[in-house]
């Protein structure tokens, strides 16, 4: 009985951690963008035209130049 409870508890905790994982978010189609200082960009005011940003996807990454922003 105790063993089953611990198994369920571990499975539940693992599920919750996966939901919160940034990698799980990337798997949903989102990306994480950051400039050369590696600080995650959270607001368009943190970049300016001509900046090079790195974009992390679930599988791979690439760099892009900021052409415009709102």
Q: Is 6 left (phi over 0), alpha (psi -120 to 50) or beta?
A: alpha
pLDDT digits (tens, 9 = 90+) for 17-66: 888 887 888 888 999 999 988 899 999 999 999 999 999 999 999 999 99
How far is the CA of 8 from the CAs of 4, 15, 18, 29, in angstroms?
Answer: 6, 10, 15, 29
Does residue 3 register a pLDDT over 80? yes
Domain boundaries, the chain: 1-29, 31-70
pTM listed for this prediction: 0.68
Q: What angle do CA 28, 64, 19 make, to 5 degrees?
A: 20
């Amino acid at each position: 009985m105790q063993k089953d409870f611990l198994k369920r508890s571990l499975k539940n905790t693992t599920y919750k951690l996966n939901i919160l994982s940034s990698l799980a978010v990337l798997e949903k189609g989102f990306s994480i963008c950051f400039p050369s200082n590696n600080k995650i960009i959270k607001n368009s005011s943190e970049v300016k035209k001509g900046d090079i940003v790195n974009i992390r996807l679930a599988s791979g990454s690439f760099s892009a130049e900021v052409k415009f922003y709102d």
